Amino acid sequence: MSGEPILQVSELCKSFGNLAALNRVSFHIAPGEILGLIGPNGAGKTTLFNTISGLYHPDGGQVAFKGQSIGGLSPHAICKLGMSRTFQVTQAFEHLSVAEAIRIGAYNRHGERGVEAKVRETVAFFGLEKIQDWKCSDLGLAPLKRVEVARAAATDPELLLLDEAGAGLNASELAELMEMLKTLRRKRDMTLCVVEHVMPMVMGLCERIIVLDYGELIAEGTPEMISKNEKVIEAYLGRRSKR
| DSSP sequence for 112-147 | HHHHHHHHHHHHHHTT-GGGTTSBGGG--HHHHHHH
Cα torsion angle, 50, 53, 59, 64, sign = positive
Taking the complex as a whole, the smallest distance from the CB of residue 42 to ligand ATP amounts, in Å, to 4
Q: Which stretch binds Mg ion (CB under 5 A): 39-47, 125-133, 154-162, 183-191?
A: 39-47
43 contact, one of ligand ATP, Mg ion, none, CB 5-8 Å limit per kind: ligand ATP
Q: Which stretch binds ligand ATP (CB under 6 A): 37-45, 109-117, 183-191, 201-209?
A: 37-45
Q: Which of 5, 9, 43, 46 is close enough to bind Mg ion by CB under 5 A?
A: 46
Q: Does 41 bind ligand ATP (CB under 6 A)?
A: yes
Interface with ligand ATP in residues 182-241 (CB under 6 A): none
Which of 192, 207, 90 is closest to 151 using CA atoms?
Answer: 90
Taking the complex as a whole, the smallest distance from the CB of residue 109 to ligand ATP amounts, in Å, to 26
Is the CB of residue 59 less than 8 Å from the CB of residue 25?
no
Taking the complex as a whole, the smallest distance from the CB of residue 1 to ligand ATP amounts, in Å, to 25
Burial 166-178 (b: 16+ CB within 10 A, else e): bbebeeebbeebb
